[in-house]
Amino acid sequence: MNADLLKQHLKREGATLVGIGDISEALSSEIMHLNRGIAIAVNRNLNRGTVEILSRLQGLAVSWLSVRGFRNLSIPPDSDRQKDKLITKLYKLFCHKTAATCSGLGWVGKNGLVINREYGSKLSWATVLTNAPLLPDRPIRESECGDCDLCVRHCPSGAVTGHHWSVREHGKKLVAYEKCAALKNVRQSIEGKPNCGFCVTVCPYSRNGKKKAANS
Amino acid sequence: MADEARKKEILEKLRNGVIQYDEDACREGANEAVAEGLDANEAIFDGLVSGMEEVGRLFEAQEYFVPEILMCADALYAGLDILKPHCKQMDLGVKGSVVIGTVEGDVHDIGKNLVKMMFDVAGFHVYDLGRDVPLDKFVDEQLKTDSELVCLSAMMTTSMVGMPKVIEKIKAKNPNCMIMIGGAPTSKDLADKWGADGYAEDASNALKEAIKMVAFLKKLRDEKAAKQ
């Protein structure tokens, strides 16, 4: 089943990127029947209220699938912050990074974030899982960070280990999140803003993305 | 008090709200029930829970999968939150409290949570120990709370082996306590062998058993009402 219609539909409505991933390998038994992941990305540079935009796009994808009689499950962009419902327990069974890499929209960088060739790590992601037999895009299975280690050197908490991500080595520790979190706590108490964002801003891919956005 | 046709309409709204996992519909139905003086217990059991029973059927028929079940349960809770304060404490003739948890070494708690929810609805006092619960914690909690029922859940054969130890310890300290087990690898035979009093059969979905329990409680309630 061709996914171009759906992709065009979502892009017209404000999605920066849309990809279809064959995610069968990454699913646990509870959601095994939903073997396609629709990765939807929005460029944070261009938009405020990214979460709202993504949620709206997700809603559009869900209705597109539902009227065609397919099952679906939305993993919201801020899935880690939602805890008050039962369905939120399923969110952690699947992460946006998997949908992004399976649909070829990026790889997981040394900084532990999805890096897209055009936009770097400046994208926010939402995923819709579905059983619709959409034609999947070609996945990215290896890191394309190469020798670049800017994020390793610039991370103020020394959390970025510098390892390469690969689909074959699932669970390899790319970032020492406890170090990152410790710094976030300090920053939160001093400045009221937890994120430093160096690992995003130093990434050459993210910078190119920004230039492109400014030019267009 | 609303007339019969209106009452039916509200109950139907609650029921369908759960089945179609429509939280807004459940909230709306619950608010209407409260505003129009419908009996809250009736709204819960003949509306929300009746919907959940249908969901259980759809799950068995493989029309619904785990995500749908959870969304349905969320919709049920949305209505329940509104109705619960208006509930008369249900006297089911089965008073009691229950200690529930997933045994040590096991982090699967979706089934356990659904069972817990149904106990909640039925008016039990639930002490939820969560998941990956150290075996002695069940024993201690049962003694501390003097609960009539202990429910043990496990999704893996590796964690299931903790169950007979808990059962033995609880029975040694308090022979009157009832113990029920459930979870994918467990069975009626194992429950009997280990000396458990009950078994939540086919526990890849503990929901089904919970629904049976609620249906059973409902029957008790109805029988009691008939006697009066």
ipTM of the complex: 0.72
pLDDT digits (tens, 9 = 90+) for A121-161: 999 999 999 999 999 999 999 999 999 999 999 999 999 99
* Helix B110-121, helix B206-227: angle, nearest 10: 10
Among chain B residues, the shortest Cα distance to A73 is held by B67
Contact B29, B79 (CB under 8 A): yes
Contact B119, B149 (CB under 8 A): no
Band of residue B185 on the pLDDT scale cut at 50, 70, 90? confident
Share of chain B above pLDDT 70, in %: 81
| Residue A33 in domain | yes
Pair A161, A207 in one domain = yes
The token duo for A72 is 């679906």
Best mean pLDDT range from A135-139, B85-89, B127-131, B147-151 = A135-139
Run of H or E residues at B210: helix B206-227
| Pair type for strands A36-43 and A114-115 | unpaired
pLDDT top residue among A203 and B91: A203
The Cα A191–Cα A10 span in angstroms is 37
Angle ∠(B76,A28,A120) on CA atoms, nearest 5: 100
Pair A125, A156 in one domain = no
| Residue A145 in domain | no
| Residue A143 in domain | no
| Residue A137 in domain | no
Strands (E), chain B: 97-102, 125-128, 149-153, 178-182, 198-200
Instruction: Indicate the residue among A102, A130, A158 that finishes a domain.
Output: A130
Task: Kindly list the residues from chain B whose CB atom is less than 8 angstroms away from the CB atom of residue A30.
Answer: 65-67, 110
Pair A117, A48 in one domain = yes
Query: What pLDDT, on the 0 to 100 scale, is given for residue A114?
Result: 95
Average pLDDT over every residue of A30-45:
89
Q: How far is A86 from chain B (nearest CA, A)?
A: 6
Query: What pLDDT, on the 0 to 100 scale, is given for residue A55?
Result: 93
Which of A75, A87, A88, A89 to probe the B interface (max B CBs under 10 A)? A87
| Residue A72 in domain | yes
Exposure string over A8-21, b if 16+ CB within 10 A, otherwise e: eebeeebbbbbbbb
Pair A119, A178 in one domain = no
Pair A156, A87 in one domain = no
pLDDT top residue among A41 and A81: A41
Pair A113, A178 in one domain = no
Closest CA to B108 of A4, A93, A119: A93
State whether B67 and A31 contact (CB < 8 Å). yes
What's the number of domains chain A is made of?
Answer: 2
State whether B66 and A90 contact (CB < 8 Å). yes
pLDDT top residue among A166 and B175: A166
Band of residue B201 on the pLDDT scale cut at 50, 70, 90? low
Pair A34, A104 in one domain = yes
Pair A98, A40 in one domain = yes
What domains can be seen in chain B, in order of their start residue? 4-88 (1.10.1240.10), 97-208 (3.40.50.280)
Contact A160, A200 (CB under 8 A): no
| Residue A136 in domain | no
Range of the domain at A204: 150-215
Query: What pLDDT, on the 0 to 100 scale, is given for residue A216?
Result: 43
Pair A76, A169 in one domain = no
